[in-house]
């Protein structure tokens, strides 16, 4: 008989195994603490949204919508998509639930999976996870600086302290037209030097050529006109104010004149976060974001300025491991409950619950019958006290308290064991 095929995780997805959960616990905890420190409220949006939300919000000409989005029709013929990013869904919820009626600026944060069909590689999966911070209701440059500050605060708290910010301004609709014309003129002179995708981008959204990762296009990009030379007075002032705030915060940054990000809804400031790599290693952005003052109106809401960022959890964990960032696992139990015999096992379940109710951290191995094996496990877990509950102790309603360091033992009535443990601990 032929062996049955072993079913494995779908390409581009992976299991988060127990040994990696300490990294995820750390990130979730620091994200939650960071949100509280800076006044962000939690919001969670569905994994499935209407296709139109992303087509209209992110842009039809983007790689995400054209090539990477998981989209399908339901049995009821609704056209839906797995969310490829979080911002559009949060913006949709902001409009749908009338959150503009709350005190502005409104700060919201979220964390969860996103889905993009692309070739899996280091730090990039078809299902990955993002932490998202968004601020709605103010065009003040101080919020651009603060959202960047939030990212640096978070990354420092999890142990990544050498972060470098890449920042640029891509202007607004008033000044982008002049730059678009200059960019088109330049690329028309260099059409033969660019990839087929960029030739299409020039027709749909010229700024997207600057985001091309094809090596063939890199020399052309490096010589292209830069947006900062075409900024209107308002965008120029907004950019300058943002940089002044960053200088005050002592946040190091690199003026990246060709940074545009891959989403159509951005305007004015855009930014990404990198860590320095070895010379032969390519830097991957840990996350990024920018201002998107037109998105809410584009999706049918009132005109509402906004700025936000997203951080990639998998890439962050990859860097934590690479750089030896230590994360603490589960704390050693204070007490290890050992049992021997069926009666002790039955009563032991109730005793275990009693210890938990009294906030005494406890571990056990009820499936093991050997006292020696259980003591060995208690020692491995670095428990301070072993609570030995055998057949005779179960009959007598007593237990043996054993100090793991010294081996000293004492028989204590069950009615007094909680009080005695608290005294010793």
Domain layout of the chain by residue ranges: 18-172+232-322, 335-424
Annotation: CATH topology of 18-172+232-322:
BirA Bifunctional Protein; domain 2 (3.30.930)
Q: Cα–Cα distance between 204 and 117 in angstroms, integer?
A: 21
287: phi then psi, degrees, rounded to nearest 5? 165, -175
Sign of torsion over alpha carbons 76, 77, 78, 83: positive
- Indicate if the alpha-carbon torsion angle 287, 277, 157, 17 is positive or negative: positive
379: pLDDT strictly greater than 80: yes
Does 220 or 252 have the greater pLDDT score?
252
Q: What does the pLDDT read at residue 421?
A: 87
Report whether pLDDT(262) > 70: no
Residue 4: CB atoms within 10 Å? 6
Residue 272 to residue 293: CA distance in whole angstroms: 18
What order of strands is seen across the sheet that includes strand 335-339?
362-364, 335-339, 385-389, 398-403, 409-413
pLDDT of residue 338: 87
Same topology, domains 18-172+232-322 and 335-424? Answer is no
What residues contact 214, with CB distance under 8 A and at least 6 apart? 195, 197, 198
Residues 236-261, mean pLDDT to the nearest whole number = 91
Question: What confidence tens digit (pLDDT) does each residue in 99-142 have?
Answer: 999 999 999 999 999 998 877 777 678 899 999 999 999 999 99
Q: Which helix or strand (DSSP H or E) is residue 135 part of? A: strand 127-136
Interatomic CA distance for residues 274 and 283, integer angstroms: 7
Question: In angstroms, rounded to a whole number, what is the distance separating the alpha carbons of residues 63 and 69?
Answer: 9
What lies within 8 Å, CB to CB, of 240 at 6+ separation is none
Extract the tokens encoding 237.
């002032």
CB 393 within 8 A of CB 412: no
Distance CA 97, CA 93 (A): 6
Nearest-5° angle of CA 249, CA 252, CA 255? 120
Does domain 335-424 fall under CATH 3.40.50.720? My reply is no
Cβ atoms of 262 and 251 closer than 8 Å: no
Q: Report the alpha-carbon distance of residue 305 to residue 319 in Å, rounded.
A: 33
pLDDT band per the 50, 70, 90 thresholds, residue 32: very high
- Read off the tokens for 83: 């969310």
Can you list the alpha helix ranges (DSSP code H) found in 38-134? Answer: 51-57, 63, 87-96
Rounded to whole angstroms, the Cα distance separating 55 from 398 reads: 69
**Residues 88, 23 contacting (CB under 8 angstroms):** no
The whole-number average pLDDT for the span 70-89 is 89
CA distance 220 to 188: 11
Element (H, E) at 379: helix 371-380
Strand partners, 387: 337, 401
Task: Report which of 111, 145, 99, 142 is spatially closest to residue 35, judged by C-alpha positions.
Answer: 111
Q: How far apart are CA 51 and CA 354, in angstroms?
A: 52
Query: Two tokens at 420?
Result: 């005695």
| pTM (2 d.p.) | 0.84
- Looking at the predicted structure, is the pLDDT value of residue 63 above 70? no
Q: How far apart are the first and last CA of the chain?
A: 60
Tell me the per-residue pLDDT of 299-347, one tens digit each, with 9 for 90 and over.
Answer: 999 999 999 999 999 999 999 998 888 888 777 889 998 888 888 888 8
pLDDT of residue 193: 76
Rounded-to-integer distance, Cα 155 and Cα 164, Å: 11
Give the Cβ contact number of residue 65 at 10 Å.
21
Tokens encoding 375: 């003591």
Task: Tell me the per-residue pLDDT of 80-96, one tens digit each, with 9 for 90 and over.
Answer: 999 999 999 999 999 99
Q: What is the DSSP string of 158-201?
A: TT----EEEEEE---HHHHHHHHHHHHHHHHTTGGGS-HHHHHH
């Amino acid at each position: 008989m032929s062996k049955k095929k072993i079913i494995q995780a779908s390409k581009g997805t992976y299991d988060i195994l127990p040994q990696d959960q300490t990294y995820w616990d750390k990130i979730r905890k620091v994200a939650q603490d960071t949100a509280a420190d800076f006044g962000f409220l939690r919001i969670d949006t569905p994994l499935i949204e209407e296709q139109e939300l992303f087509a209209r919000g992110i842009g039809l000409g983007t790689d995400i919508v054209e090539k990477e989005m998981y989209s399908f029709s339901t049995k009821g013929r609704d056209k839906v998509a797995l969310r490829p990013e979080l911002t559009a869904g949060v913006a949709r919820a902001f409009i749908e639930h009338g959150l503009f009626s709350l005190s502005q600026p409104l700060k919201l944060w979220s964390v969860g999976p996103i889905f993009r069909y692309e070739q899996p590689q280091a730090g990039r999966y078809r299902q990955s996870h993002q932490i998202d911070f968004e601020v709605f209701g103010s065009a003040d440059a101080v919020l651009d600086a603060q959202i960047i500050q939030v990212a640096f605060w978070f990354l420092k708290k999890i142990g990544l302290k050498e972060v470098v910010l890449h920042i640029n301004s891509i202007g607004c609709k008033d000044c982008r037209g002049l730059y678009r014309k200059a960019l088109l003129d330049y690329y028309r002179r260099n059409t033969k030097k660019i990839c087929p995708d960029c030739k299409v981008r020039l027709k749909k959204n010229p700024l997207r050529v600057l985001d091309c990762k094809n090596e063939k296009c890199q020399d052309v990009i490096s010589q292209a006109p830069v947006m900062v030379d075409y900024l209107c007075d308002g965008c120029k002032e907004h950019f300058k104010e943002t940089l002044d705030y960053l200088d005050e915060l002592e946040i190091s940054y690199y003026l990246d004149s060709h940074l545009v990000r891959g989403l159509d809804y951005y305007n004015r400031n855009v930014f990404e976060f990198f860590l320095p790599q070895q010379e032969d290693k390519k830097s991957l952005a840990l996350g990024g974001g920018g201002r998107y003052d037109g998105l809410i109106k584009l999706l049918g809401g009132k005109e509402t300025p906004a700025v936000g960022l997203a951080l990639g959890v998998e890439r962050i964990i990859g860097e934590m491991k690479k750089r030896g960032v230590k994360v603490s696992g589960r704390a050693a139990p204070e007490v290890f409950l050992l049992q021997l015999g069926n009666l002790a096992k039955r009563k032991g379940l109730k005793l275990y619950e009693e210890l938990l109710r009294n906030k005494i951290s406890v571990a056990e191995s009820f499936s093991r019958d050997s006292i020696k094996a259980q003591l060995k496990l208690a020692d491995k877990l670095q428990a301070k006290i072993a609570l030995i509950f055998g057949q005779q102790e179960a009959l007598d309603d007593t237990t043996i308290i054993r100090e793991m360091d010294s081996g000293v033992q004492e028989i204590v009535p069950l009615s007094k064991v909680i009080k005695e443990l608290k005294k010793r601990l």
